[in-house]
Structure 1
Amino acid sequence: MKNGHKIIITILAVAMALFHIYTSAFGMYTALIQRGMHLMFVLALIFLIFPVKKGVSRKNIPLYDYILSLLGFVVGAYIVINYNAIVLREGQATQLDIIMGVVAIILVLEATRRTLGLPLVIIGVIFLIYAFAGPHMPGALIHRGYDIQRVAYQMYMTTSGIFGIPFGVSATTIAMFIIFASFINKTGGGKYFVDLAFSIAGRTRGGPAKAAVIGSCIMGSITGAAVANVAATGTFTIPLMKRTGYKPHIAGAIEAVASTGSQIMPPIMGSAAFIMAEMAEIPYSSIMVAALIPALFYYFSLFLAVDIEAAKHGLKGLTKKELPPLKKKFNK
Protein backbone atom coordinates (compact mmCIF):
# COMPACT_ATOMS: atom_id res chain seq x y z
CA MET A 1 0.00 0.00 0.00
CA LYS A 2 1.48 3.32 -1.10
CA ASN A 3 2.00 6.23 1.26
CA GLY A 4 -0.83 8.23 -0.30
CA HIS A 5 -3.28 5.39 0.38
CA LYS A 6 -2.07 5.07 3.95
CA ILE A 7 -2.46 8.80 4.54
CA ILE A 8 -6.08 8.75 3.32
CA ILE A 9 -6.92 5.75 5.50
CA THR A 10 -5.17 7.29 8.49
CA ILE A 11 -7.02 10.60 8.10
CA LEU A 12 -10.40 8.82 7.88
CA ALA A 13 -9.63 6.52 10.82
CA VAL A 14 -8.39 9.34 13.04
CA ALA A 15 -11.37 11.52 12.12
CA MET A 16 -13.74 8.65 12.95
CA ALA A 17 -12.03 8.02 16.30
CA LEU A 18 -12.10 11.74 17.20
CA PHE A 19 -15.78 11.97 16.29
CA HIS A 20 -16.71 9.07 18.56
CA ILE A 21 -14.51 10.29 21.40
CA TYR A 22 -16.07 13.76 21.12
CA THR A 23 -19.66 12.49 21.10
CA SER A 24 -18.95 10.13 23.99
CA ALA A 25 -17.56 13.00 26.05
CA PHE A 26 -20.00 15.78 25.14
CA GLY A 27 -23.17 13.93 24.15
CA MET A 28 -24.50 12.06 21.15
CA TYR A 29 -26.17 13.69 18.19
CA THR A 30 -29.71 12.82 17.06
CA ALA A 31 -29.93 9.13 16.09
CA LEU A 32 -29.87 9.60 12.31
CA ILE A 33 -27.01 12.11 12.42
CA GLN A 34 -24.91 9.96 14.77
CA ARG A 35 -25.51 6.84 12.71
CA GLY A 36 -25.09 8.66 9.41
CA MET A 37 -21.66 9.90 10.48
CA HIS A 38 -20.75 6.41 11.60
CA LEU A 39 -21.85 4.92 8.27
CA MET A 40 -19.95 7.60 6.39
CA PHE A 41 -16.63 6.64 7.98
CA VAL A 42 -17.24 2.88 8.08
CA LEU A 43 -18.10 2.51 4.39
CA ALA A 44 -15.29 4.82 3.29
CA LEU A 45 -12.73 2.79 5.26
CA ILE A 46 -14.02 -0.67 4.34
CA PHE A 47 -13.61 -0.15 0.59
CA LEU A 48 -10.08 1.17 1.09
CA ILE A 49 -8.97 -1.58 3.47
CA PHE A 50 -10.77 -4.75 2.35
CA PRO A 51 -10.12 -6.00 -1.20
CA VAL A 52 -12.85 -7.20 -3.53
CA LYS A 53 -11.53 -10.76 -3.02
CA LYS A 54 -9.61 -12.25 -0.12
CA GLY A 55 -5.92 -12.56 -0.77
CA VAL A 56 -5.79 -9.73 -3.31
CA SER A 57 -2.84 -7.41 -2.68
CA ARG A 58 -3.58 -3.87 -1.50
CA LYS A 59 -0.30 -2.44 -2.79
CA ASN A 60 -2.24 -0.70 -5.53
CA ILE A 61 -5.84 0.07 -4.60
CA PRO A 62 -7.94 -0.03 -7.80
CA LEU A 63 -9.87 3.03 -8.95
CA TYR A 64 -13.26 1.39 -8.39
CA ASP A 65 -12.48 0.99 -4.68
CA TYR A 66 -11.81 4.71 -4.42
CA ILE A 67 -15.12 5.36 -6.17
CA LEU A 68 -16.97 2.99 -3.83
CA SER A 69 -15.26 4.58 -0.83
CA LEU A 70 -16.30 8.05 -2.00
CA LEU A 71 -19.88 6.86 -2.59
CA GLY A 72 -19.94 5.34 0.91
CA PHE A 73 -18.80 8.65 2.35
CA VAL A 74 -21.44 10.52 0.35
CA VAL A 75 -24.43 8.33 1.32
CA GLY A 76 -23.57 8.80 5.00
CA ALA A 77 -22.92 12.52 4.62
CA TYR A 78 -26.19 12.96 2.71
CA ILE A 79 -28.20 11.96 5.78
CA VAL A 80 -26.20 14.29 8.03
CA ILE A 81 -26.35 17.33 5.72
CA ASN A 82 -30.02 16.92 4.82
CA TYR A 83 -31.31 15.82 8.21
CA ASN A 84 -33.55 18.85 8.79
CA ALA A 85 -35.05 18.62 5.32
CA ILE A 86 -35.68 14.88 5.77
CA VAL A 87 -37.52 15.51 9.03
CA LEU A 88 -39.62 18.34 7.55
CA ARG A 89 -40.65 16.21 4.55
CA GLU A 90 -42.29 13.77 7.00
CA GLY A 91 -41.87 10.64 4.93
CA GLN A 92 -42.20 12.24 1.49
CA ALA A 93 -39.00 11.08 -0.19
CA THR A 94 -37.57 12.87 -3.22
CA GLN A 95 -36.13 11.13 -6.27
CA LEU A 96 -32.62 11.87 -4.99
CA ASP A 97 -33.49 10.33 -1.61
CA ILE A 98 -34.50 7.09 -3.35
CA ILE A 99 -31.38 7.01 -5.50
CA MET A 100 -29.16 7.53 -2.46
CA GLY A 101 -31.11 4.85 -0.59
CA VAL A 102 -30.62 2.28 -3.35
CA VAL A 103 -26.90 3.11 -3.53
CA ALA A 104 -26.60 2.83 0.27
CA ILE A 105 -28.24 -0.62 0.29
CA ILE A 106 -25.94 -1.90 -2.46
CA LEU A 107 -22.84 -0.49 -0.72
CA VAL A 108 -23.81 -1.99 2.65
CA LEU A 109 -24.33 -5.41 1.04
CA GLU A 110 -20.97 -5.22 -0.72
CA ALA A 111 -19.20 -4.02 2.45
CA THR A 112 -20.79 -6.93 4.34
CA ARG A 113 -19.58 -9.39 1.71
CA ARG A 114 -16.03 -8.08 1.92
CA THR A 115 -15.85 -8.14 5.70
CA LEU A 116 -18.10 -11.04 6.75
CA GLY A 117 -18.53 -13.15 3.63
CA LEU A 118 -21.33 -14.09 1.25
CA PRO A 119 -23.76 -16.01 3.53
CA LEU A 120 -24.95 -12.93 5.42
CA VAL A 121 -25.39 -11.04 2.14
CA ILE A 122 -27.54 -13.86 0.75
CA ILE A 123 -29.77 -13.71 3.82
CA GLY A 124 -30.12 -9.94 3.43
CA VAL A 125 -30.94 -10.21 -0.27
CA ILE A 126 -33.59 -12.90 0.43
CA PHE A 127 -35.38 -10.59 2.85
CA LEU A 128 -35.18 -7.69 0.38
CA ILE A 129 -36.71 -9.88 -2.31
CA TYR A 130 -39.43 -10.90 0.16
CA ALA A 131 -40.39 -7.23 0.57
CA PHE A 132 -41.12 -7.01 -3.19
CA ALA A 133 -42.50 -10.53 -3.72
CA GLY A 134 -45.09 -10.49 -0.92
CA PRO A 135 -48.18 -10.83 -3.16
CA HIS A 136 -46.73 -13.97 -4.73
CA MET A 137 -45.84 -15.73 -1.46
CA PRO A 138 -47.85 -18.72 -0.18
CA GLY A 139 -49.96 -18.97 2.99
CA ALA A 140 -48.98 -16.93 6.02
CA LEU A 141 -46.01 -15.40 4.17
CA ILE A 142 -48.21 -13.39 1.82
CA HIS A 143 -48.37 -9.59 2.11
CA ARG A 144 -49.31 -6.72 -0.16
CA GLY A 145 -45.73 -6.03 -1.31
CA TYR A 146 -43.79 -2.78 -1.42
CA ASP A 147 -42.31 -0.73 -4.23
CA ILE A 148 -38.68 0.31 -4.45
CA GLN A 149 -39.44 3.83 -3.19
CA ARG A 150 -40.95 2.51 0.03
CA VAL A 151 -38.17 -0.03 0.59
CA ALA A 152 -35.36 2.45 -0.12
CA TYR A 153 -36.90 5.07 2.16
CA GLN A 154 -37.53 2.64 5.01
CA MET A 155 -34.07 1.11 4.77
CA TYR A 156 -32.12 4.35 4.39
CA MET A 157 -34.00 7.26 5.91
CA THR A 158 -35.44 5.79 9.10
CA THR A 159 -34.04 4.02 12.15
CA SER A 160 -35.74 0.76 11.14
CA GLY A 161 -33.42 -0.33 8.33
CA ILE A 162 -29.70 0.18 7.90
CA PHE A 163 -29.73 2.58 10.84
CA GLY A 164 -31.55 0.13 13.14
CA ILE A 165 -30.73 -0.85 16.71
CA PRO A 166 -27.58 -2.94 15.96
CA PHE A 167 -26.07 -0.13 13.93
CA GLY A 168 -27.11 2.39 16.56
CA VAL A 169 -25.32 0.42 19.27
CA SER A 170 -22.25 0.25 17.05
CA ALA A 171 -22.35 4.01 16.46
CA THR A 172 -22.77 4.94 20.12
CA THR A 173 -21.15 2.24 22.27
CA ILE A 174 -19.20 -0.42 20.41
CA ALA A 175 -17.05 2.06 18.51
CA MET A 176 -15.65 3.49 21.75
CA PHE A 177 -14.83 0.07 23.16
CA ILE A 178 -13.04 -0.86 19.92
CA ILE A 179 -11.00 2.34 20.14
CA PHE A 180 -10.18 1.57 23.77
CA ALA A 181 -9.16 -2.03 23.00
CA SER A 182 -7.00 -0.91 20.07
CA PHE A 183 -5.29 1.66 22.29
CA ILE A 184 -4.53 -1.02 24.89
CA ASN A 185 -3.07 -3.37 22.28
CA LYS A 186 -0.97 -0.74 20.52
CA THR A 187 0.50 0.54 23.77
CA GLY A 188 1.69 -2.93 24.76
CA GLY A 189 -1.14 -3.86 27.11
CA GLY A 190 -1.86 -7.07 25.21
CA LYS A 191 1.71 -8.34 25.52
CA TYR A 192 1.73 -7.41 29.20
CA PHE A 193 -1.32 -9.59 29.88
CA VAL A 194 0.18 -12.49 27.93
CA ASP A 195 3.45 -12.20 29.90
CA LEU A 196 1.46 -12.08 33.13
CA ALA A 197 -0.39 -15.26 32.15
CA PHE A 198 2.90 -17.02 31.36
CA SER A 199 4.35 -15.87 34.68
CA ILE A 200 1.38 -17.45 36.51
CA ALA A 201 1.00 -20.75 34.64
CA GLY A 202 3.96 -21.13 32.29
CA ARG A 203 5.89 -23.61 34.46
CA THR A 204 2.95 -25.92 35.15
CA ARG A 205 2.01 -29.00 33.13
CA GLY A 206 1.02 -27.84 29.67
CA GLY A 207 2.02 -24.33 30.72
CA PRO A 208 1.76 -22.48 27.38
CA ALA A 209 -1.77 -23.80 26.81
CA LYS A 210 -2.85 -22.77 30.30
CA ALA A 211 -1.25 -19.38 29.73
CA ALA A 212 -3.30 -19.11 26.54
CA VAL A 213 -6.47 -19.73 28.55
CA ILE A 214 -5.56 -17.22 31.27
CA GLY A 215 -4.27 -14.64 28.80
CA SER A 216 -7.38 -14.88 26.62
CA CYS A 217 -9.57 -14.60 29.71
CA ILE A 218 -7.83 -11.38 30.77
CA MET A 219 -7.71 -9.96 27.25
CA GLY A 220 -11.37 -10.87 26.79
CA SER A 221 -12.35 -8.46 29.52
CA ILE A 222 -10.90 -5.70 27.34
CA THR A 223 -11.43 -6.62 23.70
CA GLY A 224 -14.57 -8.80 23.75
CA ALA A 225 -13.72 -9.99 20.24
CA ALA A 226 -12.47 -13.48 19.43
CA VAL A 227 -10.47 -12.39 16.37
CA ALA A 228 -8.77 -9.53 18.22
CA ASN A 229 -8.01 -11.88 21.09
CA VAL A 230 -6.37 -14.45 18.82
CA ALA A 231 -4.31 -11.72 17.17
CA ALA A 232 -3.16 -10.36 20.54
CA THR A 233 -2.38 -13.62 22.35
CA GLY A 234 -2.12 -16.31 19.67
CA THR A 235 1.10 -14.98 18.18
CA PHE A 236 2.83 -15.76 21.49
CA THR A 237 0.97 -18.81 22.77
CA ILE A 238 0.58 -20.99 19.67
CA PRO A 239 4.32 -21.22 18.82
CA LEU A 240 5.15 -22.02 22.47
CA MET A 241 2.41 -24.66 22.66
CA LYS A 242 3.82 -26.33 19.55
CA ARG A 243 7.33 -26.16 20.95
CA THR A 244 6.34 -27.90 24.18
CA GLY A 245 4.69 -30.80 22.34
CA TYR A 246 1.16 -29.76 21.38
CA LYS A 247 0.16 -30.73 17.85
CA PRO A 248 -0.41 -27.68 15.62
CA HIS A 249 -4.15 -28.26 15.23
CA ILE A 250 -4.54 -28.76 19.00
CA ALA A 251 -2.60 -25.56 19.74
CA GLY A 252 -4.74 -23.62 17.28
CA ALA A 253 -7.94 -25.10 18.70
CA ILE A 254 -7.01 -24.21 22.29
CA GLU A 255 -6.28 -20.62 21.34
CA ALA A 256 -9.45 -20.34 19.25
CA VAL A 257 -11.70 -21.74 22.00
CA ALA A 258 -10.02 -19.60 24.67
CA SER A 259 -10.41 -16.46 22.56
CA THR A 260 -14.06 -17.22 21.75
CA GLY A 261 -14.91 -17.05 25.45
CA SER A 262 -13.79 -13.43 25.46
CA GLN A 263 -17.19 -12.45 24.07
CA ILE A 264 -18.89 -13.31 27.38
CA MET A 265 -16.14 -12.38 29.81
CA PRO A 266 -17.28 -9.49 32.04
CA PRO A 267 -17.45 -6.60 31.63
CA ILE A 268 -18.49 -8.10 28.25
CA MET A 269 -17.02 -5.97 25.52
CA GLY A 270 -18.59 -8.16 22.82
CA SER A 271 -21.03 -6.28 20.59
CA ALA A 272 -23.86 -8.79 21.15
CA ALA A 273 -24.20 -7.78 24.81
CA PHE A 274 -24.82 -4.13 23.95
CA ILE A 275 -27.40 -5.09 21.33
CA MET A 276 -29.10 -7.42 23.85
CA ALA A 277 -29.33 -4.62 26.40
CA GLU A 278 -30.79 -2.24 23.82
CA MET A 279 -33.34 -4.70 22.43
CA ALA A 280 -34.38 -6.18 25.79
CA GLU A 281 -34.44 -2.72 27.38
CA ILE A 282 -32.64 -3.89 30.49
CA PRO A 283 -29.56 -2.40 32.18
CA TYR A 284 -26.26 -3.48 30.68
CA SER A 285 -25.05 -4.24 34.20
CA SER A 286 -27.72 -6.97 34.48
CA ILE A 287 -26.34 -8.74 31.41
CA MET A 288 -22.82 -8.37 32.76
CA VAL A 289 -23.73 -9.96 36.11
CA ALA A 290 -25.67 -12.77 34.42
CA ALA A 291 -22.65 -13.62 32.27
CA LEU A 292 -20.15 -13.80 35.14
CA ILE A 293 -20.79 -17.38 36.30
CA PRO A 294 -21.08 -18.89 32.77
CA ALA A 295 -17.86 -17.13 31.74
CA LEU A 296 -15.94 -18.40 34.78
CA PHE A 297 -17.23 -21.95 34.28
CA TYR A 298 -16.33 -21.73 30.59
CA TYR A 299 -12.70 -20.87 31.30
CA PHE A 300 -12.47 -23.24 34.27
CA SER A 301 -13.67 -26.19 32.17
CA LEU A 302 -11.30 -25.22 29.36
CA PHE A 303 -8.42 -25.01 31.86
CA LEU A 304 -9.23 -28.54 33.07
CA ALA A 305 -9.46 -29.84 29.50
CA VAL A 306 -6.04 -28.39 28.73
CA ASP A 307 -4.57 -29.96 31.87
CA ILE A 308 -6.04 -33.37 30.97
CA GLU A 309 -4.62 -33.10 27.44
CA ALA A 310 -1.20 -32.24 28.84
CA ALA A 311 -1.31 -35.13 31.33
CA LYS A 312 -2.37 -37.58 28.61
CA HIS A 313 0.60 -36.71 26.42
CA GLY A 314 3.11 -36.01 29.19
CA LEU A 315 3.59 -32.38 28.21
CA LYS A 316 5.68 -30.17 30.45
CA GLY A 317 5.81 -26.44 31.03
CA LEU A 318 8.50 -23.91 30.29
CA THR A 319 11.65 -23.44 32.33
CA LYS A 320 12.07 -20.60 34.79
CA LYS A 321 14.60 -18.90 32.50
CA GLU A 322 12.06 -18.82 29.66
CA LEU A 323 9.43 -17.01 31.69
CA PRO A 324 9.13 -13.37 32.78
CA PRO A 325 9.34 -12.97 36.60
CA LEU A 326 5.89 -12.68 38.17
CA LYS A 327 7.04 -10.15 40.77
CA LYS A 328 8.49 -7.92 38.08
CA LYS A 329 5.20 -7.95 36.18
CA PHE A 330 3.21 -6.85 39.22
CA ASN A 331 5.77 -4.17 40.07
CA LYS A 332 5.10 -2.61 36.67
Structure 2
Amino acid sequence: MREFKGRFWVIFGIWALITAFFHFYTALYGTFEPRLQRSIHLFLLLPLVFLVFPFNKKSKKALPSYADWILSILALLPSLYIIWNIETLSLRIEQVTPVTPTETVLGGLLIVLVLEACRRAVSLSFSIVVTVAFLYIFIAPYLPGAFNSRNLGIERIIEIMYLSSHDGIYPGFPPTHNEVGGVTPNFP
Protein backbone atom coordinates (compact mmCIF):
# COMPACT_ATOMS: atom_id res chain seq x y z
CA MET A 1 0.00 0.00 0.00
CA ARG A 2 1.22 3.49 -0.75
CA GLU A 3 2.30 6.07 1.77
CA PHE A 4 0.02 9.08 1.41
CA LYS A 5 1.73 12.47 1.14
CA GLY A 6 1.18 15.86 -0.49
CA ARG A 7 -1.34 16.42 -3.28
CA PHE A 8 -2.07 12.75 -3.64
CA TRP A 9 -3.29 12.66 -0.06
CA VAL A 10 -5.69 15.55 -0.78
CA ILE A 11 -7.06 13.91 -3.96
CA PHE A 12 -7.37 10.54 -2.24
CA GLY A 13 -8.99 12.11 0.84
CA ILE A 14 -11.60 14.01 -1.16
CA TRP A 15 -12.44 10.94 -3.26
CA ALA A 16 -12.66 8.77 -0.12
CA LEU A 17 -14.97 11.33 1.55
CA ILE A 18 -17.27 11.34 -1.49
CA THR A 19 -17.31 7.54 -1.39
CA ALA A 20 -18.08 7.49 2.33
CA PHE A 21 -20.83 10.09 1.88
CA PHE A 22 -22.46 8.02 -0.88
CA HIS A 23 -22.44 4.86 1.23
CA PHE A 24 -23.72 6.61 4.36
CA TYR A 25 -26.43 8.34 2.33
CA THR A 26 -27.68 5.08 0.82
CA ALA A 27 -27.40 3.31 4.18
CA LEU A 28 -29.59 5.97 5.81
CA TYR A 29 -32.07 6.79 3.04
CA GLY A 30 -32.20 3.61 0.97
CA THR A 31 -30.34 2.23 -1.98
CA PHE A 32 -30.79 2.95 -5.65
CA GLU A 33 -31.78 0.38 -8.25
CA PRO A 34 -29.24 -2.48 -7.81
CA ARG A 35 -27.33 -2.03 -11.07
CA LEU A 36 -27.06 1.73 -10.49
CA GLN A 37 -26.03 1.26 -6.85
CA ARG A 38 -23.28 -1.18 -7.77
CA SER A 39 -22.12 0.90 -10.73
CA ILE A 40 -21.66 3.94 -8.51
CA HIS A 41 -19.91 1.73 -5.94
CA LEU A 42 -17.41 0.47 -8.54
CA PHE A 43 -17.11 3.96 -10.05
CA LEU A 44 -15.97 5.27 -6.68
CA LEU A 45 -13.79 2.38 -5.47
CA LEU A 46 -12.16 0.70 -8.48
CA PRO A 47 -10.04 3.74 -9.45
CA LEU A 48 -8.76 3.99 -5.87
CA VAL A 49 -7.32 0.46 -6.08
CA PHE A 50 -4.93 1.55 -8.83
CA LEU A 51 -3.88 4.64 -6.88
CA VAL A 52 -3.52 2.99 -3.46
CA PHE A 53 -1.97 -0.37 -4.38
CA PRO A 54 1.25 -0.26 -6.44
CA PHE A 55 1.81 -2.49 -9.48
CA ASN A 56 4.39 -4.56 -7.59
CA LYS A 57 6.65 -4.39 -4.55
CA LYS A 58 9.37 -2.58 -6.51
CA SER A 59 7.05 0.27 -7.56
CA LYS A 60 7.42 3.66 -5.93
CA LYS A 61 5.53 3.86 -2.65
CA ALA A 62 5.24 7.65 -2.56
CA LEU A 63 3.24 8.42 -5.70
CA PRO A 64 1.26 6.48 -8.29
CA SER A 65 2.93 6.08 -11.69
CA TYR A 66 1.48 7.47 -14.90
CA ALA A 67 0.26 3.97 -15.72
CA ASP A 68 -1.59 3.83 -12.38
CA TRP A 69 -3.28 7.15 -13.16
CA ILE A 70 -4.26 5.92 -16.63
CA LEU A 71 -5.70 2.68 -15.20
CA SER A 72 -7.55 4.73 -12.59
CA ILE A 73 -9.11 6.95 -15.25
CA LEU A 74 -9.96 3.94 -17.44
CA ALA A 75 -11.64 2.32 -14.42
CA LEU A 76 -14.17 5.16 -14.40
CA LEU A 77 -15.41 4.55 -17.95
CA PRO A 78 -17.34 1.23 -17.73
CA SER A 79 -19.30 2.28 -14.64
CA LEU A 80 -19.86 5.77 -16.01
CA TYR A 81 -21.43 4.21 -19.13
CA ILE A 82 -23.83 2.17 -16.96
CA ILE A 83 -24.69 5.22 -14.81
CA TRP A 84 -25.23 7.45 -17.86
CA ASN A 85 -27.36 4.86 -19.72
CA ILE A 86 -29.19 3.26 -16.78
CA GLU A 87 -32.68 3.89 -18.20
CA THR A 88 -31.81 2.45 -21.62
CA LEU A 89 -30.10 -0.56 -20.05
CA SER A 90 -33.08 -1.16 -17.74
CA LEU A 91 -35.35 -1.39 -20.79
CA ARG A 92 -32.90 -3.66 -22.59
CA ILE A 93 -34.08 -7.23 -23.26
CA GLU A 94 -31.28 -9.59 -22.34
CA GLN A 95 -30.26 -12.11 -25.02
CA VAL A 96 -32.40 -10.22 -27.54
CA THR A 97 -31.06 -6.67 -27.69
CA PRO A 98 -27.68 -6.79 -29.45
CA VAL A 99 -24.55 -5.83 -27.53
CA THR A 100 -23.02 -2.72 -29.11
CA PRO A 101 -19.30 -2.47 -29.92
CA THR A 102 -18.97 0.20 -27.20
CA GLU A 103 -20.50 -2.14 -24.63
CA THR A 104 -18.22 -4.96 -25.77
CA VAL A 105 -15.10 -2.82 -25.36
CA LEU A 106 -16.19 -1.37 -22.00
CA GLY A 107 -17.23 -4.79 -20.70
CA GLY A 108 -13.89 -6.31 -21.70
CA LEU A 109 -12.08 -3.36 -20.14
CA LEU A 110 -14.00 -3.78 -16.89
CA ILE A 111 -13.23 -7.50 -16.70
CA VAL A 112 -9.50 -6.87 -17.20
CA LEU A 113 -9.47 -3.97 -14.70
CA VAL A 114 -11.30 -5.96 -12.02
CA LEU A 115 -8.84 -8.85 -12.46
CA GLU A 116 -5.89 -6.45 -12.15
CA ALA A 117 -7.48 -4.77 -9.12
CA CYS A 118 -7.91 -8.19 -7.50
CA ARG A 119 -4.27 -9.01 -8.22
CA ARG A 120 -3.12 -5.79 -6.59
CA ALA A 121 -5.48 -5.68 -3.61
CA VAL A 122 -6.13 -9.37 -2.84
CA SER A 123 -3.44 -11.67 -4.26
CA LEU A 124 -1.93 -13.04 -7.42
CA SER A 125 -3.25 -16.52 -6.66
CA PHE A 126 -6.84 -15.25 -6.42
CA SER A 127 -6.51 -13.52 -9.79
CA ILE A 128 -5.07 -16.68 -11.33
CA VAL A 129 -7.98 -18.79 -10.07
CA VAL A 130 -10.53 -16.29 -11.38
CA THR A 131 -8.70 -16.02 -14.72
CA VAL A 132 -8.60 -19.81 -15.13
CA ALA A 133 -12.33 -20.01 -14.35
CA PHE A 134 -12.97 -17.23 -16.86
CA LEU A 135 -10.80 -18.90 -19.53
CA TYR A 136 -12.80 -22.10 -19.03
CA ILE A 137 -15.74 -20.33 -20.67
CA PHE A 138 -13.69 -19.99 -23.86
CA ILE A 139 -12.14 -23.48 -23.92
CA ALA A 140 -15.17 -25.48 -22.66
CA PRO A 141 -16.62 -26.06 -26.17
CA TYR A 142 -13.42 -27.94 -27.07
CA LEU A 143 -13.27 -30.13 -23.94
CA PRO A 144 -14.65 -33.70 -23.84
CA GLY A 145 -17.52 -35.15 -21.81
CA ALA A 146 -18.79 -33.45 -18.68
CA PHE A 147 -16.38 -30.53 -19.13
CA ASN A 148 -17.91 -29.61 -22.50
CA SER A 149 -20.18 -26.59 -22.80
CA ARG A 150 -21.67 -24.70 -25.69
CA ASN A 151 -19.79 -21.78 -27.21
CA LEU A 152 -21.16 -18.51 -25.87
CA GLY A 153 -19.22 -15.98 -27.94
CA ILE A 154 -17.60 -12.81 -26.68
CA GLU A 155 -20.75 -10.65 -26.97
CA ARG A 156 -22.78 -13.06 -24.84
CA ILE A 157 -20.01 -13.29 -22.23
CA ILE A 158 -19.77 -9.48 -22.09
CA GLU A 159 -23.56 -9.29 -21.81
CA ILE A 160 -23.53 -11.67 -18.84
CA MET A 161 -20.56 -10.08 -17.09
CA TYR A 162 -21.24 -6.40 -17.82
CA LEU A 163 -24.82 -5.74 -18.92
CA SER A 164 -26.90 -8.40 -17.19
CA SER A 165 -29.07 -7.27 -14.31
CA HIS A 166 -28.96 -10.74 -12.70
CA ASP A 167 -25.39 -12.01 -13.16
CA GLY A 168 -21.86 -10.74 -13.59
CA ILE A 169 -20.28 -7.66 -12.10
CA TYR A 170 -23.48 -5.57 -11.69
CA PRO A 171 -26.03 -8.20 -10.60
CA GLY A 172 -29.56 -7.62 -9.39
CA PHE A 173 -31.15 -8.86 -6.19
CA PRO A 174 -32.55 -12.35 -6.95
CA PRO A 175 -31.31 -14.60 -4.13
CA THR A 176 -29.91 -17.22 -6.50
CA HIS A 177 -27.48 -14.78 -8.12
CA ASN A 178 -24.27 -13.37 -6.66
CA GLU A 179 -25.30 -12.35 -3.16
CA VAL A 180 -21.72 -11.33 -2.39
CA GLY A 181 -21.71 -8.76 -5.19
CA GLY A 182 -24.39 -6.77 -3.39
CA VAL A 183 -23.03 -6.88 0.14
CA THR A 184 -20.46 -4.08 0.05
CA PRO A 185 -22.48 -1.41 -1.76
CA ASN A 186 -25.67 -2.14 0.16
CA PHE A 187 -24.34 -2.76 3.65
CA PRO A 188 -21.33 -0.48 4.31
Q: TM-score range by the shorter chain?
A: 0.7 to 0.9
- Following superposition, the deviation at residue 148 of structure 1 comes to 0.9
Write the mapping of 1:16-35 to structure 2, written as runs, cut at 5 A.
16-35=19-38
Matched residue SS, 2:150: coil
Aligned match of 2:158 in 140, 149, 152? Answer: 152
Matched residue SS, 2:64: coil
Aligned match of 2:114 in 108, 130, 148? Answer: 108
| Corresponding residue number in structure 2 for 1:96 | 102
- The answer to whether the aligner puts 1:162 opposite 2:159 as a matched pair is no
| Corresponding residue number in structure 2 for 1:6 | 9
Matched residue SS, 1:140: helix
Counting helix residues as a fraction of each chain, which structure ranks higher? Answer: 1
Matched residue SS, 1:133: helix
- How far apart in 2 are the matches of 1:172 and 1:60? 31
Matched residue SS, 2:149: coil
1:74-125: CA deviations, max 9, x gaps? 2222211111111223232211111100000000000000011111111111
- Following superposition, the deviation at residue 132 of structure 1 comes to 1.4
Segments of 4+ in structure 1 off by > 2 A? Answer: 54-58
Q: Aligned pair count?
A: 174
- The answer to whether the aligner puts 1:138 opposite 2:106 as a matched pair is no
- Following superposition, the deviation at residue 71 of structure 1 comes to 1.2
- Following superposition, the deviation at residue 2 of structure 1 comes to 4.4
Q: Whose RCO is larger (CA < 8 A, sep 6+)? A: 2
Which stretches in structure 2 are left out of the alignment for 5+ residues? 171-177
Aligned match of 2:45 in 42, 46, 57? Answer: 42
1:190-224: CA deviations, max 9, x gaps? xxxxxxxxxxxxxxxxxxxxxxxxxxxxxxxxxxx
| Corresponding residue number in structure 1 for 2:89 | 86
- Following superposition, the deviation at residue 58 of structure 1 comes to 2.6
1:251-287: CA deviations, max 9, x gaps? xxxxxxxxxxxxxxxxxxxxxxxxxxxxxxxxxxxxx
* Structure with the greater alpha carbon radius of gyration: 1
- Following superposition, the deviation at residue 156 of structure 1 comes to 1.1
The one-letter code sitting in structure 2 at the alignment partner of 1:160 is D
> TM-score of the superposition, structure 2-length normalised?
0.87
> TM-score of the superposition, structure 1-length normalised?
0.50
Write the mapping of 1:254-269 to structure 2, written as runs, cut at 5 A.
none
- How far apart in 2 are the matches of 1:55 and 1:167? 32
- How far apart in 2 are the matches of 1:60 and 1:115? 17
- Following superposition, the deviation at residue 35 of structure 1 comes to 0.5
Aligned match of 1:66 in 66, 69, 79? Answer: 69
- Following superposition, the deviation at residue 5 of structure 1 comes to 1.2
Which stretches in structure 1 are left out of the alignment for 5+ residues? 177-332
**26-35 or 143-152: which moved more?**
143-152
- How far apart in 1 are the matches of 2:74 and 2:130? 21
Q: CA RMSD in A?
A: 1.4
